[in-house]
């Protein structure tokens, strides 16, 4: 089966986790030797949608009209949306209604964690919701002595000195307070 990963809004979300998920999905499908479509014109049995932007709603509706299955990725929840910017708490209930509508257009909804799955199911979604990890590209994150040495030089880390890094957004909902608290408890690590 050929799969079309809808990339609408990629310019807006390209550097975010959602944007990276789109790129990651395409690469993983390539590695699994699953045929992908680059345009709507190419026949595809399923359309993957990652964003909740208005154009994605149109893409889901178009896919339905063409008789294609819609796999919606539930990257967002109302609970994650809260406290993400000034005024987000007031908008959160409207955001919940919007994402419930968007995700409801899917034949299936995939979300990265059991926590998110339970939240999305509590919204009363009609399609089934499954949790499946975003995964880690073990080829990219494989040990590489040259990259390790370069990283340690860049950050002034001596050999044997421990360092802990986070690759998430530096915001509270991504665990920043917990990360900082852990850092306070581990003064021996940078």
The pLDDT of residue 52 is 92
pTM of the shown model: 0.79
- Residue 134: helix, strand or coil by DSSP? coil
The pLDDT of residue 173 is 66
Separation of alpha carbons 52 and 102, rounded Å: 6
Give, in degrees to the nearest 5, the angle at Cα 54 between 106 and 42: 60
Beta strand segments in 10-162, E: 36-37, 46-49, 69-73, 108-111, 129-131
The pLDDT of residue 144 is 93
Q: Which two tokens stand for residue 73?
A: 């990725």
Domains of the chain plus CATH, in order, are 3-131 (3.40.50.2000), 145-185 (no CATH)
Per residue of the chain (190 residues), give pLDDT as tens: 888 888 887 777 767 777 788 888 888 888 899 988 887 777 888 999 998 999 999 999 999 999 999 999 998 889 888 877 889 899 999 999 999 999 999 999 999 889 999 999 999 999 999 999 877 778 888 899 999 999 999 999 998 888 888 776 676 667 788 888 988 999 888 8
Beta strand segments in the chain, E: 3-5, 36-37, 46-49, 69-73, 108-111, 129-131
Give, in degrees to the nearest 5, the angle at Cα 28 between 57 and 9: 30
The pLDDT of residue 167 is 72
The pLDDT of residue 1 is 80
Spatial CB neighbours of 47, under 8 Å, sequence gap ≥ 6 = 3, 4, 5, 6, 59, 60, 63, 68, 69, 70, 71
The pLDDT of residue 12 is 76
- Residue 74: helix, strand or coil by DSSP? coil
């Amino acid at each position: 089966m050929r799969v079309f990963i809808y990339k609408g809004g990629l310019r807006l979300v390209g550097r975010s986790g959602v944007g990276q998920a789109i790129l990651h999905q395409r690469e993983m499908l390539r590695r699994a030797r699953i045929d992908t479509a680059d345009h709507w014109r190419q026949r595809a049995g399923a359309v993957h949608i990652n964003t909740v932007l208005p154009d994605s709603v149109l893409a889901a509706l178009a896919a339905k009209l063409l008789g294609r299955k819609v796999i919606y990725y539930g990257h967002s929840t109302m609970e994650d949306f809260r406290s993400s910017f000034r005024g987000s708490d007031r908008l959160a209930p409207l955001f919940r209604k919007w994402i419930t509508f968007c995700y409801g257009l899917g034949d299936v909804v995939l979300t990265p964690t059991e926590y998110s799955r339970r939240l999305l199911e509590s919204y009363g979604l009609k399609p089934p919701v499954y949790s499946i990890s975003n995964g880690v590209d073990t080829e990219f994150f494989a040990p590489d002595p040259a990259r390790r040495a370069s990283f340690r030089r860049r950050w002034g880390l001596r050999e044997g000195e421990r360092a802990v890094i986070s690759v998430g957004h530096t915001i509270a909902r991504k665990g920043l307070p917990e990360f900082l608290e852990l850092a306070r408890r581990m003064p021996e690590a940078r």
